Structure 1
Amino acid sequence: MKKWLSPALLIITFLLAGIAHYAHLNPIVQFVIASISVIFVAGFLGRATESVAHYAGQRLGGFLNATFGNAAELIIAIFLIREGLYDMVKASLTGSIIGNLLLVLGASLFAGGLKFKVQNYNVSLAGLSGSLMIVAVISLFVPAVFLNTHSITATETDTLSLIVAGILILSYLAWLLFSMVTHKDYLADVTDDREQELPHEHEPAWSKGRSILYLVLATVMVALVSEWLVGTLETFTTQFGLSELFVGAFLVAIIGNAAEHSAAILLAMKNKIGASVEIAVGSSLQIALFVAPVLIFVSYFTGDTMDIVFSTIELVAIAVSVFIAKSITQDGSTNWYEGLMLLVVYIMLGVSFFLV
């Protein structure tokens, strides 16, 4: 099922994107080819990460999956910051959060539910993850409220953004300590006991050395293709009359999340819904608590701090996504209709963003 992620196909799409970029082809052609290449490279990165994770163990492996699964989005965002496209950066962060909570999780629950009537997972993990997402929503609302009510100045907003970003990073590091060290058994997947019954289903794709080599190579390739993609976004947005909000929140986010989409859905169809939930919710947590704050500091060190004040539309979209995702996942069991409800909300938000 993963032949489309073969090294040969990866190299072909990467070379085509490079040729389109350096030959200065039409920007729209460059955008299409670069987008396809990002999907293939991110998919290969996900496969390499999955193989490395096998050797690293379940909890550390889950962390690696979330981290490298977000690598494409982080790198794309850094290049957007370099171009000064802060609104698109925030839109892409918004899109990543709602995309993981609604599209990735929804598609996983729907696909898994069609094959298995009811699927169960660790309710404690889902509950704690949902509570952390609420903390992230609060951290986004506070600076926006204070700035929009003119309680603080723009300079003070930048300072508040840096302080909030630092607090969120510390919160995320504490979550890693809690979930991977002090309470790793408490948060273990309820299907872990069945791992021994399916030894061949989870065999790594490559040896440990080759997996690490492919992981490094894929990360470098993601960085290059992301830069080529970002260089075409302004032209693409202008030519088709699309808003930066829609392009960042949906097109860029979907392209960057492609690898996680396929991995989570395939795991759900293997009745590993706990792993699917961890990928979707865990990735959203990492975006909100780590990636976004890191980007605040990246912009600060480039000389022009990007504040953490999101637009009202973005805040509402994130809040709605967190509310419905927490509501659906808090009981520790899922079915296909719950997945459909998440997808319906995602489509509604997508149409609204398109019309902005």
Structure 2
Amino acid sequence: MLNWLLIFLPIAVYLEFTHAPGTWIFIAAALAILPLAGLMGRATEELATKTGSAVGGLLNATFGNATELIIAFFALQAGKLEVVKASITGSILGNLLLVLGLAVFLGGLRFKTQVFNRHNAGLVTSLLTISVLGLLIPAMFDLASRSFAGERNPAGIDLSLSVATAVVLILIYIANIIFSLFTHKNVLSAHDEGHGEAHSGPAWSVPVAVGVLLAATVAVAFMSEFLVGSLEEATAALGLSEFFVGIILIPIIGNAAEHAAAIVFAMKNKMDLAVTIALGSTVQVALLVAPLLVLLSLLVGRPMDLVLHNPLELAAVVAGVVIANNIARDGESNWIEGLMLLGVYVILAFAFFFFPA
């Protein structure tokens, strides 16, 4: 559906190497990433159908947020640590409020009441709550330690705690993979049903799927470098703060394909799949993407902790988790619940837009 946007891939390359204005490069690179993310998702889905549920699930988990991870990595290399942190928060909020909201709202317009397995959703939301707490604890630690130690509190303590937290979160992620794909495979039985129906067209062979995945990943890496390199000039020209771009635009660009899949499943009355995609993607961000970025920051010489200094971000994340738990609790959804989720997201987007740079 978005493949026609691939025309922006050569356009972005041309603009970059002719030193065009940064705003043009930023827009072209962002538009090129959208179909590339879709191709990565399609290739992963095709491989999942060929390799079986266990390996396929691992592939989906690994590449589910690959586009956003690549974008964040180049932002990390450029030293834009606050943009990276904002993209983590934005991805969590985007999945919990925007993606789930659109899925519930559009699905609810076609079907009066939609049901899903509340036991399965409850397991995911419990894991989500624990994983998000892992991201909030470093911020609470920073606030508490500064209250006691004042200016004597070194930033190295925050980094040490963040690294330790990152290792624990990754271990929990590995345990979750073992739990969901091996010891308790029945938990994801609803997710396996009809998996891959969001994509239409003839099936790809394994070599084609692997080739597309590798090519799209390399192209996303180049586009991400262009995007980050033009970020400062583009934000100044467009009147946007880098914080707003990180927390709203980058998550939407990076997860567009995954978002579309959740909405398509909801409109087919497959709410188990839609809820699993929205909540599962959030868990991946909290348990895998964020911790990996902390560890990668040490390797590239740009140490980044997990401390969120903006109280608005903290409040938004907590609110998003509470709302997601409430939606999943009864195992039913309707369009008004989706509208409320979208309303909260729009309010937060305005708040982040008007927040002082």
Establish whether TM, by shorter chain, passes 0.5: yes
Map of 2:155 onto structure 1 = 154
Map of 1:250 onto structure 2 = 248
Deviation of the 1:21 alpha carbon: 1.1
1:71 pairs with 2:83? no
Say which SS state the counterpart of residue 303 (structure 1) adopts: coil
Say which SS state the counterpart of residue 186 (structure 1) adopts: helix
Superposition TM-score, scaled by structure 2 size: 0.91
Counterparts of 2:140 and 2:104 in 1: how far apart (Å)? 35
| 2:223 aligned partner, one-letter code | V
Question: For 1:293-348, what per-residue CA distance to the aligned partner results, in whole angstroms no more than 9, with x for missing partners?
Answer: 00000111222320110122211111111110111012222222221111111111
1:104 pairs with 2:99? yes
Counterparts of 1:186 and 1:265 in 2: how far apart (Å)? 22
270-279 or 81-90, which deviates more: 270-279
Map of 1:323 onto structure 2 = 322
Equivalent residues of 1:13, 1:40 under 8 A apart: no
1:43 pairs with 2:38? yes
165-174 or 49-58, which deviates more: 49-58
Say which SS state the counterpart of residue 25 (structure 1) adopts: coil
Say which SS state the counterpart of residue 186 (structure 2) adopts: coil
Question: For 1:38-64, what per-residue CA distance to the aligned partner results, in whole angstroms no more than 9, with x for missing partners?
Answer: 112112222222222222334543443
Q: Give the counterpart of 1:270 among 262, 268, 271.
A: 268
Query: Are residues 37 and 191 of structure 1, via their aligned partners in 2, closer, same or farther at CA, if it must alter by over 3 Å?
Result: closer
Structure 1 gap ranges (5+)? none
Say which SS state the counterpart of residue 189 (structure 1) adopts: helix
Q: Percent identity?
A: 47
Equivalent residues of 1:65, 1:279 under 8 A apart: no
Map of 1:167 onto structure 2 = 168
180-189 or 83-92, which deviates more: 180-189
Map of 2:182 onto structure 1 = 181
Say which SS state the counterpart of residue 234 (structure 1) adopts: helix
Map of 2:347 onto structure 1 = 348
Counterparts of 2:123 and 2:90 in 1: how far apart (Å)? 22
Map of 1:229 onto structure 2 = 227
Say which SS state the counterpart of residue 141 (structure 1) adopts: helix
Deviation of the 1:141 alpha carbon: 2.3
Structure 2 gap ranges (5+)? none
Question: How many residues were matched structurally?
Answer: 348
Counterparts of 1:26 and 1:170 in 2: how far apart (Å)? 44
Q: Give the counterpart of 1:139 among 134, 147, 151.
A: 134
Say which SS state the counterpart of residue 189 (structure 2) adopts: coil
Superposition TM-score, scaled by structure 1 size: 0.91
Counterparts of 1:148 and 1:85 in 2: how far apart (Å)? 22
Counterparts of 1:130 and 1:190 in 2: how far apart (Å)? 15
Question: For 1:13-41, what per-residue CA distance to the aligned partner results, in whole angstroms no more than 9, with x for missing partners?
Answer: 21111111111111111111111101121
